[in-house]
Amino acid sequence: MSDVTAINNLVAKHKALRKEIAKIIVGQDLVIDQILLSIYTGGHSLLIGVPGLAKTLMVNTIARTLGLDFKRIQFTPDLMPSDILGSEILDQNRNFKFIKGPIFANIILADEINRTPPKTQAALLEAMQERAV
Protein backbone atom coordinates (compact mmCIF):
# COMPACT_ATOMS: atom_id res chain seq x y z
CA MET A 1 0.00 0.00 0.00
CA SER A 2 1.38 3.39 -0.93
CA ASP A 3 1.72 6.28 1.49
CA VAL A 4 -0.96 8.24 -0.36
CA THR A 5 -3.42 5.37 -0.06
CA ALA A 6 -2.63 4.98 3.65
CA ILE A 7 -3.19 8.69 4.26
CA ASN A 8 -6.46 8.65 2.30
CA ASN A 9 -7.63 5.66 4.36
CA LEU A 10 -6.70 7.47 7.58
CA VAL A 11 -8.61 10.57 6.51
CA ALA A 12 -11.68 8.49 5.63
CA LYS A 13 -11.57 6.60 8.94
CA HIS A 14 -11.06 9.88 10.85
CA LYS A 15 -14.10 11.44 9.15
CA ALA A 16 -16.22 8.38 9.94
CA LEU A 17 -15.05 8.47 13.54
CA ARG A 18 -15.84 12.18 13.84
CA LYS A 19 -19.29 11.60 12.35
CA GLU A 20 -20.01 8.88 14.91
CA ILE A 21 -18.80 11.02 17.82
CA ALA A 22 -20.90 13.96 16.56
CA LYS A 23 -24.04 11.89 17.15
CA ILE A 24 -23.50 12.41 20.89
CA ILE A 25 -21.12 15.37 21.32
CA VAL A 26 -22.11 18.63 19.63
CA GLY A 27 -20.07 21.83 19.32
CA GLN A 28 -16.73 20.58 20.64
CA ASP A 29 -15.01 19.97 17.29
CA LEU A 30 -11.64 21.51 18.18
CA VAL A 31 -11.42 19.66 21.51
CA ILE A 32 -12.38 16.35 19.89
CA ASP A 33 -9.77 16.84 17.16
CA GLN A 34 -7.10 17.54 19.79
CA ILE A 35 -8.06 14.49 21.86
CA LEU A 36 -8.02 12.29 18.77
CA LEU A 37 -4.64 13.69 17.77
CA SER A 38 -3.36 12.83 21.23
CA ILE A 39 -4.68 9.27 20.89
CA TYR A 40 -3.22 8.88 17.38
CA THR A 41 0.22 9.96 18.59
CA GLY A 42 0.15 7.91 21.81
CA GLY A 43 0.20 10.96 24.05
CA HIS A 44 -1.74 12.24 27.02
CA SER A 45 -4.34 15.02 27.13
CA LEU A 46 -5.19 17.53 29.82
CA LEU A 47 -8.80 18.72 29.71
CA ILE A 48 -9.53 21.82 31.73
CA GLY A 49 -12.96 23.37 31.94
CA VAL A 50 -15.78 24.42 34.19
CA PRO A 51 -18.24 21.76 35.37
CA GLY A 52 -20.97 20.87 32.91
CA LEU A 53 -19.00 20.92 29.65
CA ALA A 54 -19.44 17.15 29.18
CA LYS A 55 -15.73 16.33 29.47
CA THR A 56 -16.44 12.88 30.91
CA LEU A 57 -19.12 12.16 28.31
CA MET A 58 -16.78 13.31 25.54
CA VAL A 59 -13.89 11.06 26.60
CA ASN A 60 -16.23 8.13 27.25
CA THR A 61 -17.84 8.57 23.83
CA ILE A 62 -14.48 8.66 22.07
CA ALA A 63 -13.36 5.53 23.91
CA ARG A 64 -16.57 3.64 23.08
CA THR A 65 -16.46 4.74 19.45
CA LEU A 66 -12.91 3.42 19.16
CA GLY A 67 -13.86 0.21 20.98
CA LEU A 68 -11.52 0.97 23.89
CA ASP A 69 -11.91 0.29 27.59
CA PHE A 70 -12.67 3.49 29.56
CA LYS A 71 -12.33 4.12 33.28
CA ARG A 72 -12.84 7.27 35.33
CA ILE A 73 -10.90 7.75 38.55
CA GLN A 74 -12.25 10.30 41.01
CA PHE A 75 -9.24 11.38 43.04
CA THR A 76 -10.02 12.01 46.71
CA PRO A 77 -7.84 12.79 49.74
CA ASP A 78 -8.09 9.18 50.97
CA LEU A 79 -7.23 7.49 47.64
CA MET A 80 -4.19 5.20 47.87
CA PRO A 81 -1.87 4.04 45.05
CA SER A 82 -3.28 0.49 45.32
CA ASP A 83 -6.76 1.91 44.64
CA ILE A 84 -5.67 2.87 41.14
CA LEU A 85 -2.94 0.30 40.42
CA GLY A 86 -4.61 -2.75 41.95
CA SER A 87 -3.48 -5.12 44.66
CA GLU A 88 -2.84 -8.75 45.48
CA ILE A 89 -5.43 -10.55 47.56
CA LEU A 90 -5.51 -13.96 49.15
CA ASP A 91 -8.33 -15.97 47.59
CA GLN A 92 -10.35 -18.82 49.13
CA ASN A 93 -7.74 -21.39 48.07
CA ARG A 94 -5.03 -19.42 49.90
CA ASN A 95 -3.42 -18.33 46.63
CA PHE A 96 -2.46 -14.78 45.84
CA LYS A 97 -4.47 -13.24 43.04
CA PHE A 98 -3.86 -9.83 41.48
CA ILE A 99 -6.93 -7.62 41.10
CA LYS A 100 -6.28 -4.98 38.45
CA GLY A 101 -7.06 -1.37 39.23
CA PRO A 102 -8.69 1.13 36.87
CA ILE A 103 -5.28 2.18 35.49
CA PHE A 104 -5.37 -0.95 33.32
CA ALA A 105 -7.97 0.60 30.99
CA ASN A 106 -7.09 1.91 27.52
CA ILE A 107 -8.39 5.40 28.26
CA ILE A 108 -8.47 6.84 31.77
CA LEU A 109 -10.07 10.04 32.95
CA ALA A 110 -8.28 11.14 36.12
CA ASP A 111 -10.59 13.68 37.72
CA GLU A 112 -9.38 16.24 40.28
CA ILE A 113 -5.91 14.73 40.68
CA ASN A 114 -4.84 17.73 42.77
CA ARG A 115 -7.00 16.50 45.68
CA THR A 116 -5.13 13.24 46.24
CA PRO A 117 -1.94 12.62 48.25
CA PRO A 118 1.44 13.00 46.48
CA LYS A 119 2.17 9.26 46.60
CA THR A 120 -1.04 8.52 44.69
CA GLN A 121 -0.28 11.27 42.17
CA ALA A 122 3.20 9.81 41.77
CA ALA A 123 1.79 6.32 41.11
CA LEU A 124 -0.44 7.67 38.34
CA LEU A 125 2.27 9.82 36.80
CA GLU A 126 4.76 6.95 36.87
CA ALA A 127 2.30 4.66 35.10
CA MET A 128 1.74 7.37 32.49
CA GLN A 129 5.46 7.98 31.97
CA GLU A 130 6.55 4.35 31.88
CA ARG A 131 3.51 3.22 29.85
CA ALA A 132 3.47 0.16 32.06
CA VAL A 133 1.82 -0.71 35.34
Query: Residues 77-99: pLDDT tens digits?
Result: 999 999 999 999 998 888 999 99
CATH of span 69-133: 3.40.50.300
Per-residue pLDDT for the chain (133 aa), expressed as one digit of tens each? 789 999 999 999 999 999 999 999 998 899 999 999 999 998 888 888 888 888 999 999 999 999 999 999 999 999 999 999 999 999 888 899 999 999 999 999 999 889 999 999 999 999 888 876 6
Please work out, in degrees rounded to the nearest 5, the angle formed at the alpha carbon of residue 68 by the alpha carbons of 15 and 76. Answer: 120
pTM across the whole model: 0.81
Helix axis angle, 3-21 relative to 55-66, nearest 10°? 130
